[in-house]
Amino acid sequence: MPHDRYQNVQELADRLEVAEATVRRWIKSGELRAIDIGKGWRIADTDLERFLKARETASRKQDDTTADIAGPTS
């Protein structure tokens, strides 16, 4: 973690194009790990990556396999 970059709630909200209140709700609920330093919360890149990974949809490879099983759509 020492090599992580940290961003504050506003920076993360801008990056993800969501409201600051949404980021704060994720932190409060424990969905997004954050560290309270000085004037506010800081989120490490590794914690953001873990948060996003937990919310991603099926992988592209799995989608391709599903399409092969289903056959052509035409």
Rounded to 5 degrees, φ, ψ at 19 are -75, 150
73 or 11, which is more confident: 11
Listed in sequence order, the residues at least 6 apart from 26 whose beta carbon sits closer than 8 Å to its beta carbon are: 32, 51
* Separate counts of helices (H) and strands (E) for the chain: 4, 3
pLDDT above 70 covers a percentage of the chain that reads 76
59 or 62, which is more confident: 59
pLDDT band at residue 9 using 50, 70 and 90 as cut-offs: very high
Does 68 score more than 70 pLDDT?
A: no
- For residues 1-25, average pLDDT: 92
